[in-house]
């Protein structure tokens, strides 16, 4: 059996030193906990307050500013230059203006457009 009376020094000065050392570590640990809790709360607040991505995006040419492709708003392949568009504008760009659909997110399928023609709502 372990003798707990012998695991600490017998000197009051040494015990005081150990107490101060442990109090310093507890303070350091408490500050780290507070920092991490604050950071987690800020990250959660940022996630809650993040604006909703647009439903549809058009990728724009860097040289001319003309539309290059239509994308779903969550598509990660939308390029650096893009802007949000409405559902109706995305449909118009895909059909009337013949702007290509992104081959990754397939906005034409999501908008029920095949070959430039809009499908009826019953599909």
Burial class (CB in 10 A: 0-12, 13-18, 19+), 99: middle
Label the pairing between strands 113-114 and 82-85: unpaired
Q: What is the pLDDT of residues 40-87, one digit of tens each?
A: 999 999 999 988 889 999 999 999 999 999 999 989 888 889 999 999
Q: What is the pLDDT of residue 92?
A: 93
* Domain ranges, residue 88: 56-118
Q: Check: CB of residue 34 under 8 Å from CB of residue 44.
A: no
77 and 40 belong to one structural domain:
no
| Token code pair at residue 26 | 């507890």
113 and 60 belong to one structural domain:
yes
Q: How confident is residue 123, by pLDDT bands cut at 50, 70 and 90?
A: very low
44 and 82 belong to one structural domain:
no
Evaluate whether residue 39 is within a structural domain: yes
61 and 29 belong to one structural domain:
no
Evaluate whether residue 3 is within a structural domain: no
40 and 84 belong to one structural domain:
no
CA distance 87 to 85: 7
64 and 105 belong to one structural domain:
yes
Residue 115 vs residue 74, higher pLDDT: 74
């Amino acid at each position: 059996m372990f003798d707990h009376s012998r695991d600490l020094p017998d000197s009051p000065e040494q015990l005081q030193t150990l107490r101060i050392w442990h109090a310093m570590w507890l303070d350091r640990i408490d500050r780290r906990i507070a920092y991490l809790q604050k950071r987690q709360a800020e990250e959660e607040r940022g996630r809650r307050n993040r604006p909703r991505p647009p439903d549809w995006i058009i990728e724009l040419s860097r040289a001319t500013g003309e539309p290059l492709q239509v994308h779903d708003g969550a598509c990660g392949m939308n390029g650096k230059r893009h802007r949000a568009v409405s559902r109706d504008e995305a449909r118009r760009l895909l059909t009337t203006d013949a702007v290509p659909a992104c081959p990754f997110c397939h906005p034409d399928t999501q908008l029920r457009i095949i070959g430039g023609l809009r499908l009826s709502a019953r599909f």
